[in-house]
A and B are shown apart, each in its own frame.
Chain A
Amino acid sequence: MQLNCVGIPPAEMLTNELDKTKEELREKDNDLKRRDRKEFILESNFALNDLFGTGLICYGDPYTLHLESMLESIRSVNAEIPKDLHIYTTRITDPNAFAWRDGNLFVNIGLFDLLDNDAQLAFVLCHEIIHYTNEHVKEQFIYRKELETTNDSKLLGDKLSAREFQEASNFYSQQLETEADIEGLKLFLNTHYNIQEGIKALERLKSHENSSLHEDIRIYELFGFSDKLKDSIQENFTKLCREISSFINSQQDSIPQSHPALDYRIEYINKYVLEHGFATDTGLILTPAYKQLKESCSYDVFISDYKNHNYELVFYQGWVNHQKNTEYSDFFTEYALRSFYYLMTSYDAGVKKNFVPFDSIGLAQVGYVLGVVMQMEDSKKEHHLAHFIEQITFDELEDGSYFFYCALRDLISKLESSEPKIDWYQTYLDKYISGQYVLLAKNRLK
């Protein structure tokens, strides 16, 4: 897809900035003093015109058309969103989006590259819509003016701390960003997009933030070092990158940021989702996205089984959906994890016996259970893995899965010795490929 403007330019791009300013100044607004208001509107309109004049803004291209349809879809379930919003794609590669005072939203092409799906993009759009609807640009302008005129701090940057100065000179303050996150999330929850996917947008942005230092660059190729030197050069380069990264991370709190730290944003967004029952915790998912889920698989049966403590059924349902590899397999795995946990707890309490997870245990089944167990907290993993291994016998394992059996045993032993983050899989895969387990299995069978 080419990022090229197509068709006749929209009227907003061709509006004369001075005419627009004059027209806006005729309207009344009591929030700002007359002089300040004039400055605010004038600066904003001229800056917008400059932005359009850079040639970085695109209209009518496939990306913008897609964004327009997404905006329409968000608006269809959120009546409070005004209709005078216009959206454009920019040629800027930095993964970001921004909202102008007058309802023009801009999404950088870099954001399309970074985010995984429409749900994440919709989350970002909702955030930007709130910046516009709540007039954050104006609020920030008022805040800046107040700082400039307050007696205690006439000289901005001189008597103010670095953080206060940064807060004032940003497009939006951190407080406004937080507000946009929460309010935007409310808009987003009404849409048909998958919530769990949407809120991952922040994690994707975080991954971009962390990848700013590319320690995997082969530096010796860039500068043509000799073969003798290349290893030591590369090693030093990697070491330097890590040192810089760790230094930046350690200084993160003291460097003024335009947005709140992403970790903090992810945490409170997740907390908000959990508190309001939008997560899978309660099994009550309120969004239209799950209408589709209901149709695609037996959602109601699934949830009622869960609520009626039929954990075995839920566990099997999770398994079936895991095999289908549907869009919602994560959702089912989440329930399967909980069910598995309850099942194992009931074994402990002696309430239930005879739970055999599968009729025949092969590579896939063991992999699934392992995947479920690995999502648990570290302290619970060991216990449940041990339980699981007790349930399966060597005879039940099909040929290939002996590898998993050994891997599980090894995992438990390593968890017992509390070795963090072990690379158990690769070690045992190597052993499996070399045929050690087949030999072991044959010996055991004898």
Chain B
Amino acid sequence: MHAWHRLAALFVLVAGMADAGDHAQPIAADAPLPEWRAQGAPREHHPLEETPDARAFLSALNAPGPAPKVAGLADIFAPLLGSWDLDVVFFNPDGSVRRQAPGEWHFARVLEGRAIQDVWIVPPRAMRTAMDPAPGEYGTTLRFHDPRINAWRCVWHGIVNGIVWPFTCRRIADELVLERLDEDGTLMHWVFFDIRPQGFQWRSEVSTDGGRHWRVDQRMHARRKPANPFTSATKGEIP
């Protein structure tokens, strides 16, 4: 598939875009899963502390600060830690606005502080329904510093749209630039810029001529979320 179509597929905010139900096939129809495997919890939100399995996983994932080898100059994604409200704009090839949507983005240190994981949600949870498949995206990026290449490896997982994209990430002047070369030769940049304590901007740009010309196909404005009064009220640690 052409890179533009894949990119478009990633961001199209139409319910039913990834119509999983039409394509779902049992992996082994002749081997029904035992009852204990087939039970699933309901989808209502459960506080983390009420689910012991989740707590074990999340406490193994969670890290309080940067690893010694990541701290300092290498810690380029540190300004993004925390939670952000998003205005997301998608552009047509002719530069006109195709779609605008709100979103949310949450960053935290994980894995002994060698990595930062984020969750990117468009539209935000407050606007999501129990609809399956979900519209938009609810994905994650894993980022870790790799001293062998003196850069970060960032992998975007777009779960709703079936995408796994590894990038190489560096700070270039005041910008954080994620770069990947698609299989068809399209060069992609995802760029964090205008990074301030209470906000940043982000753009996605593509080049089909080896980086001579770039076309912006998506932008985001991020504003730091105000402190959540519920979270503040329960400030402390889960034992």
Partners in one complex: no
**Which residues of B come within 8 Å of A, CB atoms?**
none
